[in-house]
Amino acid sequence: MSTYQKNKLSVNNIYKSFGDISVIDDVSLELKENEFVSLLGPSGSGKSTIFNIIAGLIKPDKGKVYIEDMDFTGRSGRVSYMYQKDLLLPWKKIIDNAALPLVIKGTKKKEAREMVKGYFKIFGLEGFEYKYPFQLSGGMRQRAALMRTYMFSKDIILLDEPFGGLDAITKRRMQYWLLDVLSNLNASIIFITHDIDEAIFLSDRVYILSDRPARVKTEIKIDLPRPRKNQVITTPRFNEIKKDIINIL
Ligand SMILES: Nc1ncnc2c1ncn2[C@@H]1O[C@H](COP(=O)(O)OP(=O)(O)O)[C@@H](O)[C@H]1O
Ligand SMILES: [Mg+2]
């Protein structure tokens, strides 16, 4: 997450209205290779809509989405996308939940299982391959959902408030865990949150969004060194950044 290179993704001047309600008003973003970027903004500001546009599920009224310099505006199937409240299928074993994106893309079930097996250790789920979702704790289910998301497309991953439903302690553990996992993978991440501490702890950069319609108010570079330990959240630098963000929000 520190060796920046080319742009993996760029969102150029997108606009979107639903009926006569403007939801996105001239938003531009970029994501570099191996970068972790957060979109921080209040509920209802248009964050998930931005993701739907990046994922190609809805078309912007104006503006473009480029992935590795190719125009992907309105085209789906390129990036991994974990929806807000993304759930595992309760009737499928964890291994088959994880393999689902590959099966959807046409890989045979047996082969897909083989392809995902090696990731259980990285995602902290070794030994749980043949369990069902109800047999896992909340944090483990979230890890499994993240693993499934990763399987779809390993380089660009959109995560929409993935830890929103977890208790504060589990949430903190999951954030720490996520950074650890990512240090072993080669992925560029955009992460939606309305939690200031979470955005600072995880990110290389944070885009601060306005109330609806979403506009980028400012972009903040998080210069806290990596790897980040949990204690980073009590350092003076962390609190300076937090103060800056609170003043902008
Ligand atoms: N398909 C849609 N049709 C009409 N309104 C929508 C649609 N999707 C989102 N909205 C509206 O757009 C606004 C932004 O929604 P959303 O992007 O989900 O915000 P956030 O993720 O920041 O909470 C909300 O007021 C929501 O009601
Ligand atoms: Mg949302």
Q: Domain holding 74: CATH number?
A: 3.40.50.300
Q: In this structure, which residue's CA is closest to atom 14 in ligand 1? A: 46
Q: Which ligand is nearest to the CA of 44?
A: 1
Whole-prediction pTM value? Answer: 0.94
Q: Among 21, 40, 49, 52, say which to mutate for ligand 1: greatest number of ligand atoms within 8 Å of CB.
A: 49
Distance 15 CA to ligand 1 centre (A): 13
What mean pLDDT do residues 225-229 have?
Answer: 94
Q: Find where tokens 């399987």 sit.
A: 151
Query: Rounded to the nearest 5 degrees, what angle is found at the Cα of 249, between the Cα atoms of 142 and 170?
Result: 20
192 Cα nearest atom in ligand 1: 21
Whether the CB-CB separation of 41 and 208 falls below 8 Å is answered with yes
Range of the domain at 117: 85-152
Residues having CB closer than 6 A to ligand 1 are 18, 23, 41, 43-49, 212
**Pairing mode of beta strands 21-32, 7-18:** antiparallel
Distant-in-sequence, close-in-space partners of 154: CB < 8 Å, separation ≥ 6: 80, 185, 186, 187
Is residue 139 located within the same domain as residue 34? no
Query: Is residue 180, in this structure, part of any structural domain at all?
Result: no
pLDDT at 171 over 60: yes
What mean pLDDT do residues 35-61 have?
Answer: 97
Q: Which ligand is nearest to the CA of 210?
A: 1
Query: Is residue 238, in this structure, part of any structural domain at all?
Result: yes
Q: What is the pLDDT of residues 182-212, one digit of tens each?
A: 998 999 999 999 999 999 999 999 999 999 9
What mean pLDDT do residues 40-53 have?
Answer: 96
Confidence tier at 5 by pLDDT (50, 70, 90): low
Is residue 140 located within the same domain as residue 61? no
Q: What is the pLDDT of residues 95-110, one digit of tens each?
A: 999 999 999 999 999 9
Query: Is residue 147, in this structure, part of any structural domain at all?
Result: yes
Is residue 118 located within the same domain as residue 240? no
Is residue 96 located within the same domain as residue 32? no
Look at residue 2 in the predicted model and tell me its pLDDT.
46
Is residue 74 located within the same domain as residue 90? no
Look at residue 4 in the predicted model and tell me its pLDDT.
46
Is residue 67 located within the same domain as residue 96? no
pLDDT at 50 over 90: yes
pLDDT at 14 over 90: yes
Q: Among 23, 158, 216, say which to mutate for ligand 1: greatest number of ligand atoms within 8 Å of CB.
A: 23
Q: What is the pLDDT of residues 64-81, one digit of tens each?
A: 999 999 999 999 999 999
14 vs 144: CA distance, rounded Å: 32
Look at residue 80 in the predicted model and tell me its pLDDT.
96
pLDDT at 214 over 80: yes
Query: How many domains would you assign to the chain?
Result: 2
